[in-house]
Structure 1
C-alpha cells in the first residue's frame, strides 16, 4: 500500500478515537491548566509512545483474525470478556468522576512517565484498533504487512498527538464542557459496551 495512504488511515483512525471525551484527554486538560502547556505536551508524548505500540498490536491481531477464521470463536470469547470489563470500568469512572476530576500537580520532569503509565491503563485502545483495522481489511481499504502496520502506527501516533495537543491548547475554553460531556459519556459507553458484551455472551452460550 501507499505510504501516505497508511499514514492517513492511521491519522484518521487515531484522531477519531482520541476526540471522544475520556480520562486521557480529561487528564490533558487538567494537566495543561495546572502545570502549563509545555508539561502537557510531555504528558501527550507519553500517551503517543504507548499508542504507537498499541496500534501495532491491534493491527497484527486483526490480520490474524482475517487469515485464520478458526480463531474467531476464541477471539469472540476474549472480546466478550473485555467488553464486560470495559463496561464495568466505564460505570466505575462515571460514579467516581468527582474524585477523578480533582487537579493533581505533577512535576514537569515526571510528565512523560506519567503519560506512559496512564496510556498503558487505557485498555480500550487495542480493541479499538483491532476492530477498526478488521473493518478496513474487510472493505479492502487496508492490506496488512509489517511495513504497512508501521506506517499506520506512525499516522496513529501523529493523529493522537495532534488531537490531545488541541485539547491542551484550548484547555481553558473547554474544561467545563468537556467535564460535563465526559461524565455522561462514561455512562453511555458503559451501557453500550455492557449491552454488546451481554449480547455476545448469550450468543456464545
Structure 2
C-alpha cells in the first residue's frame, strides 16, 4: 500500500476517535487549566508514545483475530474491570480534592509520565483500532503488513496528538468559561468511565 494512504487512514481514524469525549481528552483539558498548555502538551506526548504501540497492536490483531471473536470478548471483560477501577479512582480524587482550589504547576517530566500511565489505562484504544482496521480490511482499503501497520501507527499518532493539542489550546484560551467544569472534572471522568464500564458489562451479559 501507498505510504501516504496508510498515513492518511491512520490520521483520520485517530482524529475521529480522539474528537469524541473521553477521559483522555477531558484529562488534557484539566491539565491545561491547572498547569498550562505546555504541561498539557507533555501529557499529550505521553499519550502519543503509547498510542503508537497501541495502534500497531490493533493493526496486528486485526490481521490475526478477525475469525477468533472469543479473544475479543476476553479483552472486553478485562477492559470492563479496569474501567470500573478507573471510575472509582476518579470519584475518589473528586471527593478528596473538593476543597483544593489552588492552581498547581505540574513538572513537565511528571506530565509526560502521567500521560503514559493514563494512556496505558485506556482500554478503548486497542479494540478501537482493531475494529477500525478490520472494517478497512473488509472494505479492501487496508492490507496488513509490518510496514503498513507502522505507517498507519505514525499517522494515528499524529492525528491523536493534533486533536488533543487542539483541546489543550482551546482550554487555555477560554479558561474563565471552563473553571466550573474544571472543578468537576474528576467527577465527570468518573461518570464517563463508569457509564462505559456499565455499558460494556450489559453488552457482555
The TM tier, using the shorter chain, reads 0.7 to 0.9
Deviating 4+ runs (over 6 angstroms) = 100-103
TM superposition score normalised by structure 1 = 0.79
| SS of the residue 2:141 aligns to | coil
Are residues 106 and 99 of structure 1, via their aligned partners in 2, closer, same or farther at CA, if it must alter by over 3 Å? farther
Residue 97 and residue 112 in structure 1: after superposition, are their counterparts in 2 closer, same or farther (change >3 A)? closer
Distance 1:188 1:82 in 2: 16
- The range that moved more, 134-143 or 162-171, is 134-143
Shift of 1:185: 4.1
Map 1:98-117; keep pairs closer than 5 Å. Answer: 98-99=94-95, 105-117=105-117
SS of the aligned residue for 1:170 comes to helix
Aligned counterpart in structure 1 of residue 200 of structure 2, from 187, 193, 205: 193
Contact 1:15 1:159 in 2 (8 A): yes
Partner of 2:69: 72
CA contact (8 A) 2:87 2:191 kept: no
For 1:86-119, what per-residue CA distance to the aligned partner results, in whole angstroms no more than 9, with x for missing partners?
5635754785573498776421232222211221
1:186 shift after superposition: 3.8
Q: CA deviation at 1:11?
A: 0.9
Tell me the C-alpha RMSD between the 2 structures: 2.8
Give the drift of 1:163: 0.7
- 1:4, CA displacement in angstroms? 1.5
Which TM-score applies when normalising by structure 2? Answer: 0.79
2:12 aligned with 1:5, yes or no? no
Count of matched residue pairs:
194
**Structure 1: distance between partners of 2:104 and 2:23:** 14
In 1, the alpha carbon distance for the partners of 2:200 and 2:86 equals 9
